[in-house]
């Protein structure tokens, strides 16, 4: 006769398809009953309408059926209590953060490594979304080296306050909030972990974004305190991960993706930046040069099982436009503008898909 220990052992390998964590670790296996060769497993779903319930039940059935001596497997689905859910996911953020209640989709832009063009992508994505008519805000959560305000041409500006709230600075119809507005110019900001958490949590409460379709959050690189806090404090609809072909290190990107998934945040996809360079060859024909190699983004997306949302070329206009504070995507007819418009479409599609999917109790974002 199979033992409970054997059953739990195989169930440890069954993961929640969305959270990418074992059902056992998530506390979802409520009961295992064994009678001769008959096994009945009770799985507590994080919410009743979990869209993944069929798959979870099938995965459990399949895994248990492989234990020697098991002849029949029955899976009963039930739902976690709010207390059980809270134990795993922490308090629901949406309810806590009243200030964010009028924002439809909050999308963070992350990367495994620094200097891959996160901020450039975040700013141009925000602009491309605004060009399509969405109400957009952008939050610079890079407390160590905030520069969204510079790329948006807002250096030296300050947000003003009203009724104890900070009012974002507006440019090109986009609401902008950056730690760069709050820190003295040119002075390095040294933050310790708990301060980072507090500063970002306060910022989530104190900024009056009003009604937005999209809030784009530019993160500092990696998996440090700031990206972690953002994922904990903001009800993220999803995360866009930026990478470059030459810096593609699956391990770095995977670490970043894992962190978000563990916190119950979905990954919208990968954007490969500085993908190629377009020029005109000696024959007068357009040439595409893969300066830093080819196929890295596709491979990474395949390996990590996330979509590739787009490839942004190495474009001197992109860096120049950053320096003069006029994002390239402001011209939707330019080559790069068109690419960002396409990426924006994919982000909208993903945001709506994730919204519809709801969440298996992660966040009611
Ligand atoms: N596609 C591109 N073509 C040309 N230059 C680019 C491109 N993407 C980014 N850059 C330039 O590369 C530099 C780094 O970009 P950016 O600041 O956006 O990176 P980041 O990932 O946000 O960096 P950090 O990790 O420091 O926050 C900038 O000078 C930017 O103008
Ligand atoms: Mg940056």
CA distance to 6, 42, 54, 71, per residue, from 65 (Å): 11, 15, 16, 7
Q: How far is the CA of 232 from the centre of ligand 2 (A)?
A: 20
Residue 231: CB partners within 8 Å, gap ≥ 6?
108, 239, 259, 260, 263, 265
90 pocket-lining for ligand 1 (C-beta < 6 Å): no
7 pocket-lining for ligand 1 (C-beta < 6 Å): no
* The pLDDT value given to residue 120: 97
322 pocket-lining for ligand 1 (C-beta < 6 Å): yes
* The pLDDT value given to residue 32: 95
Question: Please, are residues 138 and 186 in contact by the beta-carbon 8 Å criterion?
Answer: no
* The pLDDT value given to residue 40: 96
User: Of the ligands numbered here, which is closest to the C-alpha atom of 148?
Assistant: 2
Q: Are residues 68 and 202 both part of a single domain?
A: no
Mean pLDDT, the chain cut into blocks of 10 residues (365 residues total): 93 84 88 94 80 86 95 91 73 59 95 92 98 97 90 91 91 94 68 77 90 96 87 92 77 85 88 88 84 80 90 91 90 93 97 80 42
Q: Are residues 78 and 100 both part of a single domain?
A: no
Could you list the beta-strand ranges (E) of 111-210. Answer: 136-140, 160-162, 165-167, 169-171, 174-178
Domain boundary among 64, 89, 114: 89
CB neighbours of residue 252 within 10 Å: 18
| Terminal CA-CA length for the chain | 45
Q: Which CATH number is 57's domain given?
A: 3.30.300.130
Give the chain's domain count.
Answer: 2
* The pLDDT value given to residue 254: 84
114 pocket-lining for ligand 1 (C-beta < 6 Å): yes
Domain boundary among 63, 89, 115: 89
Q: Are residues 116 and 231 both part of a single domain?
A: yes
* The pLDDT value given to residue 250: 73
Q: Are residues 170 and 194 both part of a single domain?
A: yes
Q: Are residues 45 and 155 both part of a single domain?
A: no
Burial class (CB in 10 A: 0-12, 13-18, 19+), 350: buried
Identify the CA nearest to 131 among candidates 320, 323, 333, 324. Answer: 333
Q: Are residues 167 and 289 both part of a single domain?
A: yes
From the CA of 121, give the closest atom in ligand 1.
18
Domain boundary among 56, 89, 122: 89
Q: Are residues 57 and 129 both part of a single domain?
A: no
Nearest alpha carbon, ligand 1 atom 5 = 319
314 pocket-lining for ligand 1 (C-beta < 6 Å): yes
Q: Are residues 83 and 114 both part of a single domain?
A: no
Q: Measured between alpha carbons, how far is 344 from 325 in angstroms, rounded to an integer?
A: 20
Q: How far is the CA of 61 from the centre of ligand 2 (A)?
A: 45
Q: Are residues 323 and 303 both part of a single domain?
A: yes
Q: Measured between alpha carbons, how far is 136 from 133 in angstroms, rounded to an integer?
A: 9
Burial class (CB in 10 A: 0-12, 13-18, 19+), 91: exposed
Is 362 contained in some domain?
no
319 pocket-lining for ligand 1 (C-beta < 6 Å): yes
Is 363 contained in some domain?
no
Q: Are residues 146 and 38 both part of a single domain?
A: no
- 3-class DSSP state for residue 39? strand
Please, which contacts does 247-254 make with residues 24 or more away whose CB atoms are closer than 8 Å?
247/113, 247/115, 247/116, 248/296, 248/297, 248/299, 248/300, 249/112, 249/113, 250/300, 250/303, 250/304, 251/112, 252/112, 252/113, 252/222, 253/111, 253/112, 253/300, 253/304, 254/112, 254/304
* The pLDDT value given to residue 171: 96
User: Of the ligands numbered here, which is closest to the C-alpha atom of 321?
Assistant: 1
| pTM recorded for the entire structure | 0.78
Q: How far is the CA of 125 from the centre of ligand 2 (A)?
A: 14
Where in the sequence is the domain holding 97, given as residue range(s)? 93-357
Q: How far is the CA of 64 from the centre of ligand 1 (A)?
A: 49
* The pLDDT value given to residue 188: 59
């Amino acid at each position: 006769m199979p033992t409970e220990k054997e059953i739990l052992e195989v169930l440890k390998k069954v993961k929640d398809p969305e959270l990418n964590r074992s059902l056992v670790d998530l506390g979802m296996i409520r009961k295992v009953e064994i009678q001769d060769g008959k096994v009945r497993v009770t799985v507590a779903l994080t919410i009743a309408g979990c869209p993944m319930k069929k798959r979870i039940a099938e995965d459990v059935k399949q895994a248990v059926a492989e234990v020697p001596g098991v002849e029949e497997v029955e899976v009963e689905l039930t739902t976690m209590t709010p207390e059980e859910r809270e134990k795993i996911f922490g308090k629901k953020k949406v309810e806590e953060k009243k200030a964010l209640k009028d924002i439809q989709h909050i999308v963070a832009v992350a990367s495994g490594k620094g200097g891959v063009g996160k901020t450039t992508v975040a700013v141009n994505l925000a602009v491309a979304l605004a060009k399509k008519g969405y109400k957009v805000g952008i939050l610079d959560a890079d407390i160590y080296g905030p520069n969204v305000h510079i790329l948006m041409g807002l250096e030296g500006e300050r947000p003003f306050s009203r009724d104890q709230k900070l009012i974002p600075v507006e440019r090109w119809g986009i609401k902008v909030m950056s730690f760069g507005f709050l820190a003295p110019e040119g002075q390095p900001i040294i933050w310790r972990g708990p301060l980072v958490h507090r500063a970002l949590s306060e910022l989530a409460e104190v900024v009056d974004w009003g009604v937005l379709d999209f809030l784009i959050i530019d993160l500092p690189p990696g998996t440090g305190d700031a990206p972690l806090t953002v994922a904990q404090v903001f009800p993220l609809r999803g995360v866009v991960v930026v990478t470059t072909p030459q810096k593609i290190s699956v391990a770095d990107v995977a670490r970043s993706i894992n962190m978000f998934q563990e916190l119950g945040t979905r990954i919208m996809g990968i954007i490969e930046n500085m993908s190629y360079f377009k020029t005109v060859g000696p024959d007068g024909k357009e040439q595409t040069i893969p300066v830093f190699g080819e196929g890295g983004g596709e491979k990474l997306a395949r390996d990590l099982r996330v979509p590739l949302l787009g490839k942004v070329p190495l474009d001197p206009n992109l860096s120049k436009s950053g320096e003069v504070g006029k994002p390239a995507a402001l011209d939707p007819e330019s080559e790069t503008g068109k690419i960002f418009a396409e990426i924006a479409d994919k982000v909208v599609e993903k945001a709506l898909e994730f919204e519809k999917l709801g969440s298996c109790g992660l966040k009611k974002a």
